[in-house]
């Protein structure tokens, strides 16, 4: 399958500064770059999706867009998992509800554990069929 380049978010969790009051404030934080992915080795993580059908229906829907869903658990170690920022929800406390701090923490954990977070618009543009991308570029 053809490699796919998507504008991708990732978290740079290094370069803390021990001389600061809060050393972690010096880490790189969220970064964004166009990265290339092999769709044969990528899975999309959908957290708390509402009414997206059975796992088989979701796999069919993703495959129609050229995104394979991993089949067996033992194959997951070969697959790069990603999350779509706008598809992630988290249970917020009263104290975190306004800032959605728990959602940000969940995205941070996905980025550290699995690698990448996509913006929905960048992701859908990237997986759209070639003819749809050409039409969108001319409008």
Q: pLDDT, tens digit, for every residue of 24-76?
A: 888 888 899 998 988 777 766 555 555 555 666 656 666 665 555 544 333 34
pLDDT of residue 19: 93
Block residue for tokens 């740079």: 12
pLDDT of residue 75: 39
**Any idea where the domains of the chain sit in the sequence?**
4-138
Is the pTM of the predicted complex or chain greater than 0.85? no
pLDDT of residue 116: 84
Least confident piece of the model among 1-15, 56-70, 111-125: 56-70
Q: Which residues contact 58 (CB under 8 A, 6 or more apart)?
A: 46, 49, 52, 69
C-beta separation of 4 from 39 below 8 A: yes
Residue 19 is given by DSSP the state T
Question: Please, what is the average pLDDT of the chain?
Answer: 74
How many Å apart are CA 21 and CA 25, to the nearest integer? 9
User: Mean per-residue pLDDT for 108-136?
Assistant: 76
């Amino acid at each position: 399958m053809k490699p796919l380049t998507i504008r991708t978010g990732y978290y740079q969790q290094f370069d803390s500064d021990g001389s600061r009051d809060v050393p972690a404030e010096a880490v790189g934080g969220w970064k964004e770059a166009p990265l290339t992915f092999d769709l044969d080795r990528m899975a999309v993580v959908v957290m708390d999706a509402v009414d997206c059908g059975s796992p088989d229906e979701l796999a069919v829907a993703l495959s129609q867009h050229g995104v394979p869903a991993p089949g067996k658990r033992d194959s997951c170690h070969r697959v790069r998992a990603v999350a779509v920022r706008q598809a992630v929800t988290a249970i917020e406390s009263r104290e975190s509800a306004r800032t959605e701090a728990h959602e940000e923490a969940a995205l941070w954990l996905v980025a550290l554990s699995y690698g990448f977070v996509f913006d929905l618009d960048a992701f859908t543009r990237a997986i759209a069929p070639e003819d749809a991308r050409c039409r969108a570029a001319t409008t």
